[in-house]
């Protein structure tokens, strides 16, 4: 066993784990981060160059968390010369009553009104004349929210890693898969394939590998691991510059008709290309040994067909198709809709000394990475947080 004690041990070296390390160091705590692969890997939910930042949600409490994260994004931006958030606005359009992975247009409009968020309603004419789409059904409607942005994901990882490392309080260890966790009244002992470590508190931020880690505590969540596919498309009309956007429509045959995309970004391939992705799972994994990181050609064909039909400013030939994975709690009767956005809480009482363990799991949390890291540290260090995480806590139906 190593003799060096830590105030916090963090399992997972992705964005949430690195954000927890960053805020742990700001709280003057000694932090150990254990990453099962290498830092900046593409084996989990951290792969890819960009993620969407949006405020609008089906649930007011989640939208408020995004608002609460804004000062933390400003703080992080001051630590790097790289642009972390490229503000281009966020456009939601399509059938306002269709529920997709991101929620539902009609419901989200009510939340934005309640929170007094700025937005502008759009119709078929706006979508074609202002935003560069074509052949839009006359029944389509939606809104444009001006605070939407694209997240520079590699830059976010770099600044968190660099600041944690520079603090002198964080130890970052790669190639450290955890094989045992032993909570006690005095703290938590964590064993990897290389060594054993002791910490006063433990934060689990293992992304899509969360059930593998929680299994060491005889705990398992009712989750699926969504495998999702995207590709880049070359701009043939340089005058068209899309915002971030999400489309909602009813399935047509084998095509779920749920897609989303990004603006042209300097850090993502080049400004000559934009990324468009399927907003539905190609496959839902329950054992990640079945994930082979090979983009499904049928889904790539679906995305290309959607681009060719609705986006005349792009060449529909796909470039650099890729996959990513994320742990999701889906609705039982709609595999394309989320039952829960996020899970963030102490371990449930069935785990011995559960108050020594904080768990973050599931959902697309890129837009609130700094805040999630800070809340994890709040809970671990002080036992509470000023942020409302009631909707993120464990419930019986989440546990297997």
Where the chain has pLDDT below 70, the residues are 1-4
pLDDT the model gives residue 1: 46
pLDDT the model gives residue 3: 57
Task: Find out whether 19 and 372 touch, Cβ atoms under 8 Å.
Answer: yes
Check whether domain 5-46+154-220+340-398 has CATH 3.50.50.60, yes or no: yes
Q: What is the pLDDT of residues 276-332, one digit of tens each?
A: 999 999 999 988 888 888 999 999 999 999 999 999 999 999 999 999 999 999 888
Distances 32 to 36, 205, 385 between C-alpha atoms, Å: 13, 13, 22
- Annotated domain spans of the chain: 5-46+154-220+340-398
pLDDT the model gives residue 305: 97
SS3 278: strand
- Strands 85-87 and 149-152, by their bridges, are antiparallel
Give the residue from 52, 43, 50 showing the smallest Cα distance to 14: 43
């Amino acid at each position: 066993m190593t003799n060096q004690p830590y105030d916090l041990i963090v399992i997972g070296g992705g964005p949430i784990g690195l954000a927890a390390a960053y805020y742990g160091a700001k709280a003057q705590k000694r932090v150990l981060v254990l990453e099962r692969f290498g830092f900046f890997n593409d084996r989990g939910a951290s792969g890819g160059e960009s993620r969407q930042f949006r405020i609008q949600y089906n649930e007011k409490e989640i939208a408020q968390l995004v608002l609460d994260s804004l000062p933390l994004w400003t703080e992080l931006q001051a630590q790097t010369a790289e642009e972390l958030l490229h503000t281009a606005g966020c456009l939601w359009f399509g059938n306002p009553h269709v529920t997709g992975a991101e929620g539902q247009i009609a419901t989200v409009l009510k939340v934005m009104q309640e929170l007094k968020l700025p937005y502008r309603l759009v119709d078929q004419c706006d979508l074609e004349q202002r935003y560069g789409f074509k052949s839009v059904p006359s029944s389509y409607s939606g809104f444009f929210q001006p605070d939407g942005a694209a997240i520079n994901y590699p830059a976010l990882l770099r600044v968190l890693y660099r600041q944690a490392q520079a603090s002198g309080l964080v130890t970052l260890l790669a190639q450290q898969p955890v094989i045992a966790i032993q909570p006690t009244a005095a703290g938590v002992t964590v064993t990897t394939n290389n060594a054993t470590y002791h910490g006063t508190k433990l934060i689990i931020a293992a992304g899509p590998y969360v059930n593998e880690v929680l299994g060491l505590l005889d705990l398992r969540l009712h989750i699926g691991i969504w495998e999702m596919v995207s590709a880049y498309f070359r701009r043939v009309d340089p005058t068209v510059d899309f915002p971030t956007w999400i489309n909602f429509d009813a399935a047509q045959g084998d095509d779920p008709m749920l897609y989303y995309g990004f603006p042209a970004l300097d850090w993502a391939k080049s400004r000559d290309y934009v990324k468009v992705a399927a907003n539905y799972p190609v496959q839902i994994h329950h054992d990640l040994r079945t994930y082979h990181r090979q983009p499904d050609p049928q889904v790539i064909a679906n995305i290309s067909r959607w681009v060719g039909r609705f986006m005349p400013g792009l060449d529909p030939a796909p470039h650099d198709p890729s996959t990513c994975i994320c742990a999701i709690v889906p609705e039982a009767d709609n595999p394309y809709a989320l039952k829960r956005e996020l899970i963030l809480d102490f371990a449930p009482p069935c785990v011995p000394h559960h108050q020594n363990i904080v768990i973050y799991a599931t959902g697309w949390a890129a837009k609130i990475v700094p805040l999630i890291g800070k809340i994890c540290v709040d809970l671990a260090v002080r036992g509470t947080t000023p942020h409302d995480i009631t909707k993120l806590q464990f419930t019986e139906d989440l546990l297997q």
